[in-house]
Amino acid sequence: MTPTINWSLTPINLGKVDYLPTYEAMQKFTAERTAETSDQLWLCEHPGVYTQGLAGRTEHIFNPGTIPVVQTNRGGQVTYHGPGQVVAYPLIDLKRAGYFIKEYVYRIEEAVIRTLMHFGVTGHRVAGAPGIYVRLDDPGSHALLPQRPVKKAVIPDEELVTPVQELVTPVQEFVTPVHEFVIPGQELVIPGLTRDPVSREHWIAGQARNDTSAHQIGPNFEGLGKIAALGIKVSRNCTYHGLALNVAMDLEPYSRINPCGYAGLQTIDLSTIGVHVGWAEAADILGQRLASQLEP
Q: Is residue 74 scored above 60 in pLDDT?
A: yes
DSSP secondary structure string for all residues of 158-202: GGG---GGGGGS-GGGG---GGGGSPTT-TTPPTT-TT--S-GGG
Q: Cβ neighbours of residue 23 under 8 Å, at least 6 residues apart?
A: 70, 72, 241
Secondary structure (3-state) at 139: coil
Using alpha carbons only, give the angle 106, 112, 113 rounded to the nearest 5 degrees: 85
Mean of pLDDT values over 266-287: 98
Q: Is residue 220 scored above 60 in pLDDT?
A: yes
Q: Is residue 109 scored above 80 in pLDDT?
A: yes
pLDDT of residue 6: 53
Residue type, 259: P
Tell me the average pLDDT of the chain: 82
Lowest mean pLDDT among 51-65, 117-131, 189-203: 189-203
Q: Cβ neighbours of residue 178 under 8 Å, at least 6 residues apart?
A: 152, 208, 209, 210, 214
* Residue 245 near residue 82 (C-beta atoms within 8 A): no
pLDDT of residue 217: 61
By percentage, how much of the chain surpasses pLDDT 90?
73
Which domains are present in the chain?
11-144+221-293 (3.30.930.10), 149-214 (no CATH)
Q: Is 260 a catalytic residue?
A: yes
Which of 85-89, 126-130, 214-218 ranks highest by mean pLDDT?
Answer: 85-89
pLDDT of residue 201: 30
Q: Is residue 242 scored above 90 in pLDDT?
A: yes
* Catalytic residue of the set 112, 230, 257, 260: 260
